[in-house]
Chains A and B, each alone.
Chain A
Amino acid sequence: MDLETYQSTLARLLTTAWLLPLCGFVIEIFAGWWSNRRSKAAAYLAVFCIATGFVCSLTALLYWGEKTEWAAFAGHAAGHGEAGAEHAAGAHDGAHANAAHHAAAGAAAHATPAYPLAVSGTHYVLVQFGRLRVAIDYYIDSLTLAMFTMVTLIASLIHVFAIGYMGDELTDDHEDHEVHTSHGHLHRPGRYYRFFAYLSLFSFSMLGLVLAGNVFLVFVFWELVGICSYFLIGFYTERRSACLAANKAFIMNRVGDFGFLIGLMILWTWFGTFQFAERTEDGQTTPGLFQMLRTPEGEILRLNTQSGQRVVLVDSHGDPLLDPTTREPKTVPYLLLVAAGMGIFAGCIGKSAQFPLQTWLPDAMEGPTPVSALVHSATMVAAGVYLTGRFYPMFMPEVLLAIAYVGCITLFLAATIAVVATDIKRVLAYSTISQLGYMMLGLGVGAWGAGLFHLITHAFFKSLMFLCSGAVIYGCHHVQEMPRMGGLRRKMPITAYTMLVGVIAICGLAIPWPTVFGEKIAFSGYHSKDAIVAAALTFAQLNPKHILLFLLPLVGAGITAFYMFRLWFYTFAGTPRDEHVYEHAHEAPAVMWIPLVVLSLFAAFCAVGGEEGPLFKLLLNSEPAGVAAGRESAVPGGISIPGHAAVAANHVAAGVDALIVAGLGAFLAYVFYGVRWLNPAEVKNQFAGLHRFLIEKWRFDELYDVMFTRPVHIIARWCTWIDRTVFDGLLHAAARLALDVARWDRKFDEGVVDGLVNKVGDLTFATGRSFRVIQTGRLRQYVMFIVVGVIVIGVAGILFVTQLRAG
């Protein structure tokens, strides 16, 4: 069967890409002892694994495109609007065509493809308790393929970069300048191989998260990437700050994951499955999670009952699912669906460092810079956005609004803090939070494609910028403070100009009008951010109450341009501020700058064509049904979600707005830090209060301190007091009582019991002593005794018998 070959080929390619890093991890960890501390074997192994994974992913992507006759790229965006209804019929031929919701909206406009655009299946069933089925499922659609290719590519480049960056760990005696002990700096063996082992484990977990075909497995890998992040943030475990940051990241993620778990429970209880896609087993078809909730057109069937609004569950054809016993349609309370959506989004908030759990990400910069690039900007934190995208059909309009607001607040908050940050990595960290906020906003306002589009482009340019900052830190011998840099572009030109590519990309600067080959002259960020801003504008037009959802991102775009150019000018332009640092700065070696160049190419051109380009269309292929059409609120004042057509109409206006604001921000940065017409210090003094407020990160750490830490301390103190006075008092009294009882017992024991035993012993001893005389040890006497005894017994016996006879 060609179809089966197609499915298994895709699954095997991606599974290979997924499991190779695990093999690498196992070998690196368990065979670490044969490679000595100066060996780069572990690094080469890790690079081999992840690079092979990239090749597999790319092969899978091309194979998929080839087999589906590039249907995903051929469709026209205008076709989306009415595509939903048509494709549902086509997506279901073939036993494995479980493509109901994520199926090809674009492709459906044309002929029905011979091969389904999304495939799913099961590798292995772990356990099955009644209805609860935990399996290693896979689900492959265009989003999976795009994520796989992106993650493996970026991870490969970062692995290569890390070969050079972590070079100072290649020693038996590594001196950590950040840790002071009583004997000076801390000395410890290098941990080169361990770093790469962690990276491999992380790659495995991240790929598993993307490949997972059920939400339970997603949760498993969700936690695995969490623990990898913990390991990597705390890589310099001797540094107190690193330990605290690792703990903070882990605990903050736990808060979010709590919500995730609640969401999982609700889903399990009401839907009875964790699967994303439809599964046919023994002739019985179980619809996937999203299929149950929405008709193939993406509609939610609501039902008003006395106990409140409920949602009818449907099968893949849109017919209501019947309860096997009562033969009535299965329904789910609407409120519970909102709660489940909120819970799962809470997990995404934690993982993607969104407001109000955003504080861990800047602290996570304690980890080595390649980690920041891979884990804390490009992939792991993007997992939250990815999951939000995957669960999109699950989110009710209220949840979407919450997502939009969370993203909106986050992007503004983080952008403002980034303006005043001086540590080069922290600026990038806040920028990451801010950009993640954009993605969430995009998803929240209904621009599903735009949000994930930004996820991919951001991954490229943010990992590029982090690696550049890594190269700067490496070149400046672990100086991270921007005020000590300046003019570095003369010392490290490659780093400086690749960084500039990243900066322009994230700011969304472009030259829209003179087009080249019919394309605007623009880097990737321009396209993706434009799409989000356009969607936000349309949303604000449809729902005038929520105008803030457009204004804040717009202002945020300006701030982004400002702080990113501020960073670039601060670091690379102007005159050196610290001669010592400048003197010793040097360009990174080739193993580090080659990844920079490759990434800068991707950062510049991965989104070429914008919303008509291949990447966007590839992603849009997986768009849930119904998103393209948008949704009009049934009740006045309700939440309306814009469709593609409405957004497309606003695209030019929003693009111009965003470009103007971004240009303003960049110009302002140039004024302050490029030509220095204005002195930033004066502005800082004028707005000292605001500055301190921003420096203290909007006082979130203090707020959490007051809200959670202090009350816990106070309660703990009460508990201590109760413990000390009440419980200890009781315990002491009990102990004293026991002591008294024991004293009495001792007297009784010594006097009565021991006395009795001693008496018996003495008696026995005396008896024995008196009998001792008889024991002469003479054989003949013993014989005599025996004979005498026999006589005595015999005589007694005879007498007794005689007596009996007589009596």
Chain B
Amino acid sequence: MEIVKSALEPLFSLIHAGSVWAFVLATIGAAVAVVLSQNVVRMAFWLIIALGSTAGLFFALDADFLGAAQLLVYVGGTLVLLVFGVMLTASGPFMQMKTSPGEGVLAGFIGFSLLGLLATSVCTVAWDPHGAVAPIAAAGYNPAEEGNTTRALGMSLLGLRPDKDLGQENARPGTGYLLPFEVASVHLLVVLVGAAYLARAKRRQAPPAL
């Protein structure tokens, strides 16, 4: 069994690398398609592709819980919301609001400039690669049989940091995210109420009776 596993190792890594590259391409392509398509429903479709493949990238980055959350929240929640918005607001499903070509050209120019700037930074800055690999392994917080990152994320939201506190002498606990978590909860509640208030049906004034 071990032998088979070691024999297949290069193959697995090849498949892994290939799938990563596929997600990269899908993400870029779908994002560009969102920009280029004029129909809002198509835009929504391409957005699903883009966000979904981003979720794939998250999986590739060992962030399995985040990837799942991305799929659930974005693809399953936010986009449905967007489609609802489209249906509620559009006078027709295929209504188009064209952008003038001049604006498109200008936006493209500016966009490429920004991309150039960002790409320059990506390339020129030394990002300290592999810096985090060793601590993760040492702490041993992220084994696959323990649900990978899920357990660690949950504990950090409860105020513990398994990747930093566990197994360390003289570690100071309490560097987790309990307070932001609570704030975010309240924030969600407020947003819920606020959104309901903003989107409520306006009662129009009755015309004066004759």
Contact = CB atoms under 8 A, between A and B. Distances in A.
The reply, when asked whether chain A contacts chain B directly with Cβ atoms under 8 A, is yes
Contact of B110 (A791, A794, A798): A791
A780 B114 CA distance: 16
A794 B107 contact: no
A788 B113 CA distance: 9
A787 B114 contact: yes
A794 B121 CA distance: 9
A635 B181 CA distance: 111
Contacts of A787: 110-111, 114
Given A784-B106, A784-B107, A798 B120 contact: yes
A295 B124 CA distance: 118
B107 to A, nearest CB: 7
Contacts, number: 21
A790 interface: yes
A173 B114 CA distance: 101
A795 interface: yes
Nearest to B103: A780
A798 B113 contact: no
Contact of A790 (B103, B114, B120): B114
Interface in A116-172: none
Interface in B106-152: 106-107, 110-111, 113-114, 117, 120-121, 124
Interface in A738-796: 780, 784, 787-788, 790-791, 794-795
Contact of A791 (B103, B106, B107, B113): B113
A487 to B, nearest CB: 98
* A784, A791, A795, A798 — most chain B CB neighbours (10 Å): A791
B110 A784 contact: yes
A798 B125 CA distance: 11
Nearest to A785: B110
Nearest to B106: A784
Contacts of B117: 790-791, 794-795, 798
A784 B113 CA distance: 12
Nearest to B118: A794
B116 to A, nearest CB: 9
Nearest to A794: B117
B121 A791 contact: no
A527 B152 CA distance: 121
Interface string B6-47: 000000000000000000000000000000000000000000
Contacts of B110: 784, 787-788, 791
A791 B107 CA distance: 13
Contacts of B106: 784
Contacts of A791: 110, 113-114, 117
Contacts of B111: 787
Nearest to A801: B124
A782 to B, nearest CB: 13
Contacts of B113: 791
A788, A794, A795, A798 — which one has the most chain B CB atoms within 10 A of its CB?
A: A794
Contacts of A784: 106-107, 110
A14 B183 CA distance: 80
A779 to B, nearest CB: 13
Contacts of A790: 114, 117
A798 B117 CA distance: 9
B114 A798 contact: no
B117 to A, nearest CB: 5
Contacts of B124: 798
A798 B121 contact: yes
A788 B114 CA distance: 8
Which of B107, B117, B121 counts the most chain A CB atoms within 10 A?
B117
A141 B198 CA distance: 94
Interface string B82-112: 0000000000000000000001001100110
Contacts of A798: 117, 120-121, 124
Contacts of B120: 798
A791 B110 CA distance: 8
A794 B110 CA distance: 13
B75 to A, nearest CB: 25
Nearest to B113: A791
Interface of A: 780, 784, 787-788, 790-791, 794-795, 798
16 contacts: A780-B103, A784-B106, A784-B110, A787-B110, A787-B111, A787-B114, A788-B110, A790-B114, A790-B117, A791-B114, A791-B117, A794-B121, A795-B117, A798-B117, A798-B121, A798-B124
4 closest cross-chain pairs (CB), A and B: A794-B117, A791-B113, A787-B110, A791-B114
Given A787-B111, A798-B124, 15 more contacts: A784-B106, A784-B107, A784-B110, A787-B110, A787-B114, A788-B110, A790-B114, A790-B117, A791-B110, A791-B113, A794-B117, A794-B121, A795-B117, A798-B117, A798-B120
